[in-house]
Structure 1
Amino acid sequence: MARLLIVHHTVSPATQELLDAVLEGARDDEIEGVEVVARPALAASVADTLSADAVVLGTPANIGYMSGALKYWFDLVYYPALSAGRSVPYALYVHGNDDTAGAVRAVEGAAKGMGWARHRPPVSVTGAPAAADRDACRELGAVTALAALGM
């Protein structure tokens, strides 16, 4: 069975809304053959990462950067993932109060450094998530689950 790993730092109601939408999309009844594993960034392990066929990353934008928790996860898994030599498809959602550009740039740089391939453009949300933002996160979860299957 293919495995989709969702690594997130969810500290606010807004990031929780986005995570819930990603999970809803990834667990759509029409998608078969994918195990969806969601881990907080501080609990996600090297083994979780190396067993993933695709990854969704979720973070708030904190002081113009990804959360410290997601940065910690990148530090933990960077060399083992790099040594594994697998180009894993990944997707990203980011929430910020007024800007997400620095967080997006930081996450994309780290993922590129690991040899991962961005599966689709990030979902970047500022302010309170709207219905369109939740829909975009649902789609992000679904298409990344399909990417875990090689589709």
Structure 2
Amino acid sequence: MPTFVYMTRCDGCGHCVDICPSDIMHIDKVNRRAYNIEPTHCWECMSCVKACPQNAIDVRGYADFSPLGHSVRVDRDEDKGTIAWSVKYRDGREKSFLSPITTKPWGSCTPNLKEVEGPTQEQRDSQYLFNEPKYIRFDEGGLHTLESNGLTLKQGVYY
């Protein structure tokens, strides 16, 4: 489901450009609006859709997701901590999917490297990254699961 931008809603803030992992969201230098330079290279991660404060970015759904003549809207509500995906079909029916926001604020996961001791020689020789989080490392008892990391299932979502 490649993304596209509604130029009338976009204010050129650049949030989508900053977050796009495939670097295909750009700001038009003349109109000062965002656009997807190559929809076929879109990773379909929806990061730009979720990050856009103006709700200016939508997705083109595939036929197995929703039939032709539909629209998909995303509404990120920071106050409620939810993301709502709404699909409006061409016959007027509308379906909504509500999910909790599970991402953390930008920069909150990054350690302050000034306060972290440098890697030991053993860490330098290891195949792991220096500050790789413990919950994805395999050297401490094998593969970790959601439950082994203290997450519990509540209403179909792990917290």
TM-score by length of 1: 0.29
Choose between structure 1 and 2: higher helix proportion: 1
Larger radius of gyration: 2
